[in-house]
Amino acid sequence: MLKAAWKNSTLLLILLAASLAPASAQDWIRTGTNRGAPIRLAVPDFRSANAEPQTAPLNQVFNQTLWTDLDNSGIFEMVSKSFYPMLMPGRPTEMNLDAWGNPPPNAAMVAFGNLGVSNGRVAVQGWLFDTKNSASPQVLGKQYNEEANADNARLIAHRFADEIIFRLGGGIPGVAETKIYYISARGGHKEVWAMDYDGAGQHQLTHLGSVALSPRVSPDNSRVAFSGLGASSWQIMMYSLDLGRLVTFRQFGGSNYSPAWSSDGTKIALASSMGTGSSEIYMADASGGEPKRLTAGKTDISPVFNPKTNTQIAFVSGRGGLPQIYTMDVDGSNLQKVTDQGYAVSPSWSPNGLLLAFAWTRHYGPGLPGGQDIYLMDIASRQFVQLTHDAGKNDFPSWSPDGRHIVFQSTRAGGEQIWTMLADGTHQQQLTREGRNSQPNWSFK
Amino acid sequence: MNHRTRNLTLILISLFFLVLITGCGKKKEPPRPQEPPEIKSVTAALSASPASIERGQSSTLTWNTENADQVTLDGRAVDANGSRNVSPARTTTFHLVAIGKGGTRQADATVTVTEPPTADITPPAITLTDEQIFAQNVTDIYFDYDRYDLRPQSQQALATAARAISQHPNWRVRIEGNCDDRGSTEYNLTLGENRARAAKDALIQAGVSADRLQTISYGKEKPACTEATEDCWQRNRRDHFVLIH
């Protein structure tokens, strides 16, 4: 009887501890994911600078893209447009700082400007004003001029958004101009595809006609390495983004899977059965030369470099039963087991080197609670935070270069689709809808 | 902070007593001692007679199981014992699964279908016969969940396969390792590779020369079926063998 009571109160203590945990978890996760207290930012629609027929539609594309980029960044509290004053400023002389800096908008910063098309060119003027600094309110003033089309309206919005994010987000470049590489089977075969970070401009890169898996873009955005199914084995293949076609890459014996770039572009880690007949982690130079075996786990795959130092590799191994995440130095020494329960796969190392994102089924087996979700682990303390909850199977997280976002695949909307979220698990949104899409990889810049 | 701790302590103490009281209440009725039911092991057998037919003819499948609560033949629920006439258009392996408290047992029976002889042109028999012999003797083997060690019945199947391969020195064989779709894409590639390699090692052990055997893992990229059922998952956790000429 006493024993049962003791057991119950222990359980209660654990539940209490668990309910108190998120507050402290929030601290380290914000520190680790480059997110401070949000700044209240107002972004009135840019004014049309003239009555040219192309001006209004391009301005609409621009305004929508700019708003989404700033909202996505995770460092702003966007002031709702319903609080804005009647007069929308299109240039600094029309800016009334008090009207924007006091309630109801109560904005700390205002981004505004104008857009006009003339002679087939789209011209944009944009400013960022600090409402609390009446002496010299201008933080940014930018001009852009490009050929007039919707893609360029989007591009200019991305660039202006990244300027604002860089200036107000602690000097970390924004991600509005980055790309996501992924696998899509919408054409009948799994091929490598690419899209903008917000899901726009989805297009097919490879045409293998067999199976392509595990795309990883090089740090300089010139090539995408992936694993392709050949006639009798899997080989690392290389797609040149500059040339728009496959280029030769060294063929190894056995099968070769899951390539990964070091962040300086000089090394590639991969899993290969070239030496032992079973999958082990190897490291080679960027052209595939001098491959060196680093592990002997028989079931090792999915390596990823610590992009901060390039001196460590995280990977997956089933050497102890179900797959778990391990780390080691790039010479294979200092092996550490990072997870020790359930089924843990698909590590992605955060740009600052402090956190691992990975897919984890913590309680693995038929009838056990919970699913496969994305988790973050602080490598030093082994504290972890669950980012997705009760929403399909989630896998293949990949960090954005600013460390504020994670792209991943999820089955919550039916088949596998690609989603993004802020690195604290908020702001989850679906990027792909057509066919099945998986294994996203966020570019380094 | 002090208040919070004190409140917590109070809550804990009162809950502690609550648990004591309710705990006592429950203990008043002692559970009636009960003999644990004896768990009998499940058996399953499936046979086809005749095992080889010409296309258009029929064969009788007969199955017997013991101590099973649930019996399925190719995914469809059937009686514990029974028989059925089948007339497949091509060589087909039928798959019996019996599930009971004593575990899960499976049995396979293959009906080999041959082309009826045509009147005018006799087909060049050699390659066709090779494929028939291969299909009869080198059959898919199945694995447990997240495992790549061979089941006892797989070892028997591989012994049969090794004899047939040894008797046909012109044969080369590709072993394709596959997984069900529950694991992660990349990890399943290593699992499939180890499954193919397990069969290759067993064939080499039984005297087949290594250079006649290729292995490849398809992970979960080439499933035989796509339903989210135990039966389909089992059918996908397999090594498939292909004769290369």
Label residue A420 exposed, middle or buried (CB < 10 Å: 0-12, 13-18, 19+).
buried
Please tell me whether residues A394 and A366 are part of one structural domain: yes
Q: Is A416 among the domain residues?
A: yes
Please tell me whether residues A290 and A405 are part of one structural domain: yes
Task: Kindly state the greatest CA–CA separation across chain A.
Answer: 87
Cβ atoms of B192 and B218 within 8 Å: the answer is yes
pLDDT at B89 over 70: yes
Q: Is A357 among the domain residues?
A: yes
Query: Which residues of chain B does A4 touch, with a Cβ-Cβ cutoff of 8 Å?
Result: 19, 23
Residues of chain B with CATH 2.60.40.10: 38-117
Q: What is the mean pLDDT of residues A277-289?
A: 96
Domain B38-117 matching CATH 2.60.40.10: the answer reads: yes
The pLDDT value recorded for residue B126 is 54
Please tell me whether residues A188 and A318 are part of one structural domain: yes
CA distance A170 to A331: 35
Please tell me whether residues A140 and A205 are part of one structural domain: no
CB-based burial, A183-192: b 16+ in 10 Å, e otherwise: bbbbeebbbb
Q: Is A118 among the domain residues?
A: yes
Sheet containing strand B43-49, edge to edge, reads B43-49, B59-66, B82-86
Please tell me whether residues A164 and A217 are part of one structural domain: no
Q: Is A1 among the domain residues?
A: no
Give the mutation candidate from B187, B188, B212, B213 for the A interface (greatest A CB count, under 10 A).
B187
Q: What is the mean pLDDT of residues B117-144?
A: 77
Q: Return the minimum-mean-pLDDT range out of A32-36, A213-217, A279-283, B88-92.
A: A32-36
Would you say how long chain A is, in residues?
A: 445
The pLDDT value recorded for residue A178 is 97
- Interface check A394 vs B, CB under 8 A: no
Residue type, A230: G
Give the gap in angstroms from C-alpha B189 to the nearest C-alpha of chain A: 8
C-alpha separations of B128 from B7, B90, B167, B212 in Å: 83, 13, 16, 20
Reported as a single tens digit per residue, the pLDDT across A150-159 is 999 999 999 9
The pLDDT value recorded for residue B28 is 46
Fold of B124-245: 60s Ribosomal Protein L30; Chain: A; (3.30.1330)
C-alpha separations of B1 from A12, A15, A23, B198 in Å: 19, 19, 15, 60
CA distance A213 to A439: 8
- Interface check B13 vs A, CB under 8 A: no
Query: Which residues of chain B does A348 touch, with a Cβ-Cβ cutoff of 8 Å?
Result: none
Cβ atoms of B47 and B110 within 8 Å: the answer is no
pLDDT at A7 over 70: no
Q: What is the mean pLDDT of residues A185-198?
A: 97
User: What does the block give as tokens for A83?
Assistant: 């609080």
CA angle A387, A388, A392 (to 5 degrees): 160
- φ/ψ of A364, rounded to 5, equals -105, 125
The pLDDT value recorded for residue A160 is 98
User: What does the block give as tokens for B213?
Assistant: 């055997």
Residue type, B42: V
The pLDDT value recorded for residue B67 is 86
Q: A106 is in which domain, residue-wise?
A: 39-168
Return the higher-pLDDT residue of A137 and A14: A137
| Among the listed residues A256, B222, B102, B72, the one whose alpha carbon sits nearest the alpha carbon of residue B237 | B222
Cβ distance A345 to B186 less than 8 Å, yes or no, reads: yes
Query: Which residues of chain B does A345 touch, with a Cβ-Cβ cutoff of 8 Å?
Result: 184, 186-187
Of A168, A188, A216, the residue at which a domain comes to its end is A168
Q: Name the pLDDT band for A5 (thresholds 50, 70, 90).
A: very low
Cβ atoms of B187 and B146 within 8 Å: the answer is no
CB atoms under 10 Å from CB of A23, counted, come to 8
What kind and span of H or E run contains B12?
helix B2-27
Q: Return the minimum-mean-pLDDT range out of A224-228, A241-245, B53-57.
A: B53-57
Reported as a single tens digit per residue, the pLDDT across A316-370 is 999 999 999 999 999 999 999 999 999 999 999 999 999 999 999 999 877 788 8
Give the gap in angstroms from C-alpha A360 to the nearest C-alpha of chain B: 10
User: What does the block give as tokens for B4?
Assistant: 């919070």
Half-sphere exposure (Cβ direction) of B54: Cα atoms closer than 13 Å: 4
Average pLDDT, rounded, for chain B? 83
CA distance A217 to A229: 19
| Among the listed residues A135, A76, A178, A19, the one whose alpha carbon sits nearest the alpha carbon of residue B4 | A19
3-state secondary structure of A130: strand
Q: Name the pLDDT band for A2 (thresholds 50, 70, 90).
A: very low
Q: Is A21 among the domain residues?
A: no
Q: What percent of chain B has pLDDT over 70?
A: 79
Please tell me whether residues A294 and A335 are part of one structural domain: yes
Q: Is A30 among the domain residues?
A: no
Pairing of the two strands B59-66 and B43-49: antiparallel
Please tell me whether residues A191 and A281 are part of one structural domain: yes
Q: Is A11 among the domain residues?
A: no
Please tell me whether residues A146 and A206 are part of one structural domain: no
Please tell me whether residues A341 and A417 are part of one structural domain: yes
**CATH number for position A371:** 2.120.10.30
Please tell me whether residues A242 and A327 are part of one structural domain: yes
Give the gap in angstroms from C-alpha B222 to the nearest C-alpha of chain A: 10
The pLDDT value recorded for residue B122 is 55
The pLDDT value recorded for residue B50 is 85
CA distance A432 to A181: 12
CA distance A391 to A404: 21
Average pLDDT, rounded, for chain A? 93
- Interface subset of B 108-147, CB within 8 angstroms of A: 146
Of A168, A198, A224, the residue at which a domain comes to its end is A168
Please tell me whether residues A146 and A235 are part of one structural domain: no
User: What does the block give as tokens for B91?
Assistant: 């060589």
- Interface check A173 vs B, CB under 8 A: no
Cβ atoms of A264 and A258 within 8 Å: the answer is no
Reported as a single tens digit per residue, the pLDDT across A103-122 is 999 999 999 999 999 999 99
Please tell me whether residues A432 and A401 are part of one structural domain: yes
Cis peptide before B50 (omega within 30 of 0): yes
3-state secondary structure of A127: strand
A220 DSSP assignment? T
A81 DSSP assignment? G
The pLDDT value recorded for residue A25 is 60
Give the gap in angstroms from C-alpha A438 to the nearest C-alpha of chain B: 10
Reported as a single tens digit per residue, the pLDDT across B21-51 is 444 444 445 555 555 556 778 888 888 888 8
Give the mutation candidate from B7, B24, B176, B189 for the A interface (greatest A CB count, under 10 A).
B189
The pLDDT value recorded for residue B100 is 83
Rg (CA), chain B: 26
Of A133, A168, A203, the residue at which a domain comes to its end is A168
Q: Is A33 among the domain residues?
A: no
Residues of chain B with CATH 3.30.1330.60: 124-245
Query: Which residues of chain B does A322 touch, with a Cβ-Cβ cutoff of 8 Å?
Result: 146
| Among the listed residues A4, A25, A12, the one whose alpha carbon sits nearest the alpha carbon of residue A385 | A25
Reported as a single tens digit per residue, the pLDDT across A50-66 is 999 999 999 999 999 99
Query: Which residues of chain A does B194 touch, with a Cβ-Cβ cutoff of 8 Å?
Result: 278-279, 298-299
Half-sphere exposure (Cβ direction) of B15: Cα atoms closer than 13 Å: 16
pLDDT at B119 over 90: no
